[in-house]
Amino acid sequence: MTEFLTIDGGQLAYDVTGEGPLIVLAHGMGDNRAAYRDTAARFLATGWRVACVDQRGHGESSTGWASYTRTDAAADLLAVIRHLGGPAVIVGHSFAGGAATIAAAQEPELVSAVVEISPFTRAQKVSPRSLLSHARYRKGMSLLMGAGLLRSVGLWKRYLDHAYPGVKPAGYAGHVAALEADLRRPGRMAVVSRMGMSVPTDAGARLGAIRCPALVIEGTLDPDWADPGAEGEGIVAEMPAGLGRLVMIEGAGHYAHVQFPDEVAAAVLAFLKVGARG
């Protein structure tokens, strides 16, 4: 059941299920909280209270916010945690991975651990050599940039098709159809564009300030980086020594939690048992 939290600037939609310690799941740009359906079920089955949040301007959350930065998204997640009673683990995908970093650095008493899936947490340097030599990366960047600059739902759907390599997960067609209907609503692709143009320097600047355990998950076939593993290692290296660790999901693209929910949930639960709850 959808619930709404009104904060300065608009309304955030979320749902919360279960009892136990709180884990908050935040999707990336151009998506909605339904992306966590399968991973959320696995967390719920292992004794967590699971909250799935629609980011501002997405899903059932309102549009019309003054800005759409990772710092804004971090404030939204912290507001949800305060409302539900923290502390909480934050799981953030892509754009929200950077937001999770900021939230953990800003209010460490409210964030017990962070999990960043395919996160945009550092400013990116596009490599001309990689664009020439790496076809998957070249196609991913062109579709991602084109969808944002042109505010094109069609290009976004083509990007999603590319970012889910191999066999599509169960329910993929229905999820994309729902996303298309959502993104064709007035102002929705403008939000995606503004998020895409938001450089993650605010998140990168806070990596060294986190005080909780952090897990970075990367897919080996993620088209958003020429070398996803190197990006994950770079993020961990900028965290305080001993807090961060990296897990690679073989065969996953940018949406490892949707393609391989069993593997991602297992990695997260093992990390939380050792890092956040052990």
pLDDT (tens digit, 9 = 90+) per residue, 119-130?
999 988 777 777
pLDDT tens digits along 203-240:
999 999 999 999 999 999 999 999 999 999 999 999 99
> How far apart are alpha carbons 92 and 89 in whole angstroms?
10
- The total number of residues shown for the chain amounts to 278
Does the domain formed by 3-126+199-276 have CATH 3.40.50.11440? no
Give the CA count within 13 Å in the CB-facing half-sphere of 205.
7
> Prior bond to 240 cis, omega within 30?
no
Residue type present at position 232 = G
Three-class SS state of 86 = coil
DSSP state of 276: I
| pTM: predicted TM-score of the whole model, two decimal places | 0.95
At 169-205, the pLDDT tens digits run 989 999 999 999 999 999 999 999 999 999 999 999 9
The terminus-to-terminus CA distance of the chain in angstroms comes to 32
Q: What is the C-alpha to C-alpha distance for residues 150 and 140, in angstroms, rounded to an integer?
A: 15
- Maximum pairwise Cα distance, the chain: 50
Q: How many CB atoms lie within 10 A of CB 55?
A: 28
Domain boundary assignment for the chain? 3-126+199-276
3-class DSSP state for residue 240?
A: coil
Is-contact 164 259, C-beta < 8 A? yes
Q: Which residue has the higher pLDDT, 275 or 119?
A: 119
CA proximity to 225, closest of 116, 32, 102, 94 = 94
